[in-house]
Amino acid sequence: MHIIMASTECAPVAKVGGLGDFVHGLSRELAHREHQVEVILPKYDSLRFDRIEGMHEILSDLQVPFYDRYIRCSVLYGEVDSIGCFFIDADSEQGFFNRGKIYGEADDADRFAFFSRALMEFLYKTGRHPDILHCNDWHTGLVPVLLYEIYAGLGMDRTRICYSLHNVGHQGWTGTHILHMNRLNEGRLMAPERMRDPGNPQAINLMKGGIVFSNFVTAVSPRYAWEVQHTEQGMGLQSVLQTHNHKFGGVLNGIDYNTWSPEVDPLIPTQFSTDSLDRKARNQSALRERAGLADEHKPLVAVVSRLDHQKGVELMRHGIYYALAQDCQFVLLGSALDPAVNADFERIKQEMETNPDCHLELSYNEELAHLIYAGADLMLIPSVYEPCGLTQMIAMKYGCVPVVRRVGGLADTVFDANYSERPFEERNGYVFDEGTYAGVESSLGRAIRLWRLFPEYFRQLRLNGMRMDNSWNRPARHYLDIYEHIRT
Ligand code: ADP
């Protein structure tokens, strides 16, 4: 099958969070199964060019419709971990992809709607008619609309669309100018059964357009697929998803064990496996040294996360103070877009400056993330909502026990050491329900007590997590079934 991924992220060249890992991991697994897979990304000025092999221009004069004129684009090609990637560069006065970052600009909706149009124009003009175009999140929600409103009529009628929802908290709410920008029919599309936002009758909702026009829609875990239809996690899209539930389902993400495995990870000082778990201690020492923590025998609790309201920043903050009060150590690696959240954690960082048991690093740092997974004992993930969550799966692979809130993909992958009904060898962490300080304290408290009082049992929990199969093997088969289903 010929599959093209349309995305705003692909690890490691353009990654903000799990979407980047998803596109990279699923593409590699599909390619491994002999499918022809390509990825299309914007050519951001912030790409990690050092991770792209053989980048060269393949098209210099792609004229992309933009209101009543055209913007010239060029397309470059290069390989990222052997995945063929097309990068679209826009010669626009707005400098759409030259902002030094991926998201967080006032005109994000325009930037990514333009990217969607440009990628469709590229496929059309170069005669690329993939069997499957796999779109992701609101940024490429306009692609299915463009396919069925414009390009199918121009001969691209064989291509089918799979659309994945990674985070329904961001839907691409925008104005009708997006339709004019793309020469789309406002009268037709601004209807309640198409792109009109359910909450604001003046607004266009790009994610809704993606849902309505795609051939199949997935959410990134079964639990999240249920939550977005039946709870406020649908953020206004509940009834849209219920209407379309004949073509909607949850597929749990995998993680790429070529990148995320302590047996082969080149970014950690000492590799280890289930047969050599004791070697994890050397990574713990290295982490203590890197983070300037005292070299003492204490539980080491960690957070690796975007610092966003979604991730439960209040509870993370409480977790830091609680863990320190329990005589543990704490390392936090986090990046915040919101200046108020950033300032709050900066303040804690200052406060902890001389504390030998606590270290906060407020940045995005791939290398340090690997060292933390390899060195920490416990990973705190107190999310308000969590579509899938990769950090718990990565942590488990590195023998780091997750302490999570029972939401979304966390509920599908972490099974409580004490209260799960699963057999012991499938229990792999600690789970709490209420998003409260008491919830964090009871679960983290149980984990810390086990570490101290029953180290053998704690070791078993680590091993249970390391032995879980969260690879892309099963999810890739699931996606291939979906692709086959919509092709016929
Ligand atoms: P989300 O996509 O909502 O951010 P996920 O758990 O699905 O959350 O994926 C997070 C990914 O981003 C993981 O690979 C994690 O290691 C990585 N990550 C998050 N924050 C940082 C950071 N500050 N530095 C490095 N990697 C990070």
- Asked if residues 125 and 159 have their Cβ atoms less than 8 Å apart, the reply is no
Average pLDDT score over residue span 187-196: 98
* Predicted confidence (pLDDT) per residue in 350-375, tens digit: 999 999 999 999 999 999 999 999 99
User: Does the CA dihedral 416-420-424-427 come out positive or negative?
Assistant: negative
- Rounded to whole angstroms, the Cα distance separating 282 from 268 reads 10
For a substitution probing ligand 1, which of 304, 362, 407 has the most ligand atoms within 8 Å of its CB?
Answer: 304
Q: Is the pLDDT of residue 35 over 90?
A: yes
> Does residue 264 sit within a domain?
no
- The structural domain count of the chain equals 2
Q: Is 202 helix (H, G, I), strand (E, B) or coil?
A: coil
CA of 334 to the centre of ligand 1 (A): 9
Q: Are residues 434 and 477 part of one domain?
A: no
Closest-CA residue to 116 (of 154, 147, 93): 147
CA of 208 to the centre of ligand 1 (A): 26
Q: Are residues 55 and 200 part of one domain?
A: yes
CA of 386 to the centre of ligand 1 (A): 12
For ligand 1, atom 4: residue with the closest CA: 17
> Does residue 41 sit within a domain?
yes
Average pLDDT score over residue span 394-403: 98
> Does residue 261 sit within a domain?
no
Q: Are residues 86 and 32 part of one domain?
A: yes
Average pLDDT score over residue span 174-183: 98
Long-range contacts of 348-354 (CB under 8 A, 24+ apart): 348/317, 348/320, 352/320
* Predicted confidence (pLDDT) per residue in 233-247, tens digit: 999 999 999 999 999
- Rounded to whole angstroms, the Cα distance separating 47 from 43 reads 7
- Give start and end residues of each alpha helix (H) in 292-407: 313-325, 339-352, 366-375, 391-397
Q: Is the pLDDT of residue 196 over 90?
A: yes
Report the chain's terminal Cα–Cα distance, integer Å: 13
Q: Is 206 helix (H, G, I), strand (E, B) or coil?
A: helix
The pLDDT value given to residue 283: 98
Q: Are residues 456 and 477 part of one domain?
A: no
Q: Read off the pLDDT band of 290 (50, 70, 90).
A: very high
* Predicted confidence (pLDDT) per residue in 210-219, tens digit: 999 999 999 9
Q: Are residues 178 and 294 part of one domain?
A: no
Q: pTM score, two decimals? A: 0.95
CATH number of 377's domain:
3.40.50.2000
Average pLDDT score over residue span 459-485: 98
Average pLDDT score over residue span 456-474: 98
> Does residue 73 sit within a domain?
yes
Q: Is the pLDDT of residue 420 over 90?
A: yes
CA of 184 to the centre of ligand 1 (A): 36
Q: Are residues 386 and 322 part of one domain?
A: yes
Kindly list the distances between the CA atom of residue 459 and the CA atoms of 278, 314, 329, 436, 451, in Å, as whole numbers in the listed order: 10, 30, 18, 28, 8
Closest-CA residue to 91 (of 59, 123, 120): 59
Q: Are residues 173 and 200 part of one domain?
A: yes
The pLDDT value given to residue 227: 98
Q: Are residues 483 and 456 part of one domain?
A: no
* Predicted confidence (pLDDT) per residue in 71-115, tens digit: 999 999 999 999 999 999 999 999 999 999 999 999 999 999 999
Q: Are residues 180 and 238 part of one domain?
A: yes
The mean predicted confidence, pLDDT, of the chain is 98
* Predicted confidence (pLDDT) per residue in 39-56, tens digit: 999 999 999 999 999 999
* Predicted confidence (pLDDT) per residue in 476-486, tens digit: 999 999 999 99
Q: Read off the pLDDT band of 488 (50, 70, 90).
A: confident
List of residues 6+ apart from 413 with CB closer than 8 A? 221, 252, 389, 392, 393, 396, 468, 470
Average pLDDT score over residue span 289-301: 98
For ligand 1, atom 12: residue with the closest CA: 17
Q: Are residues 209 and 319 part of one domain?
A: no
For ligand 1, atom 24: residue with the closest CA: 364
The pLDDT value given to residue 108: 98
Q: Are residues 10 and 131 part of one domain?
A: yes
> Does residue 262 sit within a domain?
no
Q: Are residues 295 and 186 part of one domain?
A: no
> Does residue 458 sit within a domain?
yes
Share of the chain above pLDDT 90, in %: 99
Q: Is 103 exposed, middle or buried (0-12, 13-18, 19+ CB in 10 A)?
A: middle
The pLDDT value given to residue 268: 98
* Predicted confidence (pLDDT) per residue in 423-448, tens digit: 999 999 999 999 999 999 999 999 99
Domain containing 12: what range?
2-254+473-487
> Does residue 263 sit within a domain?
no
Q: Is the CB of 20 under 6 A from ligand 1?
A: no
The pLDDT value given to residue 237: 98
Q: Is the CB of 387 under 6 A from ligand 1?
A: no
CA of 16 to the centre of ligand 1 (A): 7
Q: Is the CB of 256 under 6 A from ligand 1?
A: no
- Rounded to whole angstroms, the Cα distance separating 248 from 164 reads 10
